[in-house]
Structure formats: C-alpha cells, structure tokens
Amino acid sequence: MTQELRIPSTTTEIHASDSERQALATRYQQVRQSTEALAAPLAVEDYVIQSMPDCSPTKWHLAHVSWFFETFLLKPSSADYRSLDPQYAYLFNSYYNAAGDKYPRPQRGLISRPTVGEVYQYRRHVDEHVLDLLECAAAEDLADLAPIVTLGLNHEQQHQELIVTDLKHMLSHNPLHPVYVTRHPNSAAHVAPTSWSEFAEGVYWIGHEGSGFAFDNEQARHREFIQSFRLASQLVTNGEYMAFIQQGGYQRPEFWLSLGWATVQQLGWQAPLYWEEDDGAWWQYTLSGLRLVDPAEPVTHISYFEADAYARWAGARLPTEAEWEVAAATVPIDGNFVESGRFHPQPLNGTASSVGLAQMFGDVWEWTQSAYSPYPGFRIAPGALGEYNGKFMCNQYVLRGGSCATPRSHIRPTYRNFFPPEARWQFSGVRLARDS
C-alpha cells in the first residue's frame, strides 16, 4: 500500500470511496475520543501506577494503542513516517515478537517518561498521520488499509475495558477509596427467582460468518452437536453468592477443582476480589468508592475457580461456550455497557426474568467451562498480527457477553474473551447451566 494520490476514474468510484473513507475517519475519531474520555476523571498521578504485572498504567494503554496504529498501519504505509521517538517502539510493544524487542511488562509502572503530556502529544501525532492517510489514500489502497484500521479500533476498545479494570485494581489499594465516578445507590431492587430456559439437542452453527468485523478466534464457523440443556434466566447475584460464603463455600474442598482449592489456600481467598468484611457486613470497593455489597447486583470479580465451585455448590454447572452462544442468538444485544457510565453491574429489574434470558450482554463477563482453544479451521495469520489471539490458546477459559466496562459496539454473540482461571480483576461473573 502507498500514500500516492491516484485520480479516480469514475464518478461512482469517487462517491463510494469518499463515503467509506469518511465513515472510517469518523469511526477512528469516535473511538480515540472515547478512550480519552475514560481518562478524563484522572489526576496525573493516577496515570502512572502499575498495581500488578497483569495491569498496566493508563498512560501505557494510551500509548500502546497508538503504537499499534503506528506499527501496523503508518510505518508499512509510508517509508517517510517518523515516530515522535524511535524508543517508543520498544516501550509500547506489548507482546508482538515479530515487531521487535519489548520493555518488560511487570515494569511498566516504573516509567515516568514520556510524561502524560508527552503521551497525549504522541496520540495527536498518530491521529494526524492516520487521518491524513485515510484522506489521501488511493481508493484501491483504502481497501487494504480499512481492515487494519478496523482491527486497530477494536484493539483500542479492548484496551478501553482494560483501562477501566486496571484503574479499579490500582485505586482499590488506596485506603481513601477514591471515587472515579459518582453513582447513585440502587433503589432497593427485587430480583425475581431464577427460571430456566430449555434448549433442544441438535447440531448448531457456532462462530462468526458475514461481513461485519470479528476477531480471528471467532472463526471458522462450524457445526457442533449440543446435548439438550437448560440455562439460567439471569446472573448469579451477590445475595446468592453470600449464601455460598455463609455455608462455608471457601472452607469446603468438595466444591472445588484441585487447582482451585490450592489457589484458595495459597492466596487466602474468602470472598470475591474487592470484598471486605467489617463487623459482620460485606463491603466492596467500586469505582464509585466503598459500598455495602448489594444482594441484588450480579456478583463480579470472581475467578473461574470460584464460578465453578459456586455452580457445584448450587447443584448446577457452568455453560459451555457453544451453549451460551446458542442461547445468546435468541436475545437482542442489550444491557449495561460502558456507555451507561456506571462502571458497575446493576440489579436486574424484578420482572425481567419472567420474559426469558436476561443480562446475557453487559454487566459481567460470564465464565464458561470451555477451554480457550482453536475452532476447527482456525488458522494463525502470517506476520506479526497473527500473534493477536492464536498464541494464547493454552491454559485459559472463555468468557462471553461483555461487561459494564465493554463498549456496546464491541460485543457480539460470537465474541470470545479469555482469561486464566485464577484471574479476578475483570468484571467476571457467573450464569448457571444444567443438563436437562
């Protein structure tokens, strides 16, 4: 691909190309601005702290997503492109071995330079060049550039969610319980009892197909035989999870996978991440400060091990990702996403469960019992971008449905998120399934 100007040969070509390039440029600006809006409530000190190796400072996220456009779009498009600093290629590469050396991930919080202001300058520099490229690229080059821009924007949306979850982890260490966003307490919600939706056995199509964007790990679309099953109408609530705790859930090994039980022992888990007990009451740190645990809200910040142990205690099991996808195809993509500005799961309306499956999208990512592995027909793409998903298909479990930190436009029924079984800092929760 090049940046050379080419004179369009027909009127049709002018219109098609103009509307496509305009739509892409607008989308680019929207996503980039959304990222910066998430950082707007921060003080400069908040940008730089790294609270654990899995979490990155906001400043690093802001720079890394720009590095992605620089590395995979701008540099290959123009030999004349110059980064603001050649060292940024080393500092802000995350895990792409084919893109060169990487600064060690656990030490991202030790980097005070570039400053926050300089990182914003870096973003402006990249924005200017990306928008120039989209404006000036020849129509036939745009066809090659558009998929990379779209991947870069979906990548940036993933980091938007990580900015929120990493910030929460960092702020949770502060005994002042900082408020990132104010949020009114829930009105005393009544959650209807869980009901169960039945799904018949059969051969179902799983995975993405069509013209819309999807990551490589959602492909190839393929058929799977699924036994008949039942899926819970709603997410497990804090109130239900508290009953598990009160009945010795964290002290009884019979509910736990061996590796999960060892993790409970080793890390001293007694409750979900961010929960603390004070004088017989459970409190939790939220992005709106320390709050009493609301029994009506979906439980969140639990690991795969805890979701699985809870399910066993409740006489149920986790759904497979194929079961979840079959069920999700029956409901609209609607829910509590990052756009709500709550940054926290919300209680289900008391009447919602009577109309079938609720909370399938948004609120919390739902752990499935499915190991994150390739679909039949999955191929790792050649080049550095082939490192995006495929090389992580080991020792992780699939989560579905998005969360209160996920952008609405980022989620779809075939979307496969994945984390190791001990991870708790994402907005992760549980919906039960049963054999029928």
Which chain residues interact with Fe ion by CB under 5 A? 94
Shortest CB 303 distance to Fe ion, Å: 23
Q: How many of the other CB atoms lie within 10 Å of CB of 238? A: 25
Q: Is 418 helix (H, G, I), strand (E, B) or coil?
A: strand
SS3 content of the chain, % helix, strand, coil (to 5): 40, 15, 45
Three-state secondary structure readout of 223-258: EEEECCEEEECCCCEHHHHHHHHHCCCCCCHHHCCH
Q: Decide whether 161 or 363 has the Cβ nearer to Fe ion.
A: 161
Q: Decide whether 94 or 238 has the Cβ nearer to Fe ion.
A: 94
Shortest CB 105 distance to Fe ion, Å: 11
Question: Peptide bond before 420: cis, by omega within 30 degrees of 0?
Answer: no
As a residue count, the chain comes to 436
E-strand ranges in 99-221 read: 196-199, 202-206
Q: Which residues contact 305 (CB under 8 A, 6 or more apart)?
A: 256, 257, 259, 260, 263, 264, 421, 422
Q: Decide whether 94 or 336 has the Cβ nearer to Fe ion.
A: 94
Shortest CB 254 distance to Fe ion, Å: 40
Q: Decide whether 157 or 368 has the Cβ nearer to Fe ion.
A: 157
Shortest CB 64 distance to Fe ion, Å: 6
Task: Output the residue with the shortest Cβ distance to Fe ion.
Answer: 94
Distance CA 108, CA 257 (A): 33
Q: Decide whether 66 or 94 has the Cβ nearer to Fe ion.
A: 94
Shortest CB 69 distance to Fe ion, Å: 11
Q: Decide whether 94 or 369 has the Cβ nearer to Fe ion.
A: 94
Q: Decide whether 77 or 94 has the Cβ nearer to Fe ion.
A: 94
Shortest CB 108 distance to Fe ion, Å: 12
Q: Pairing state of beta strands 361-362 and 428-429? A: unpaired
Shortest CB 390 distance to Fe ion, Å: 15
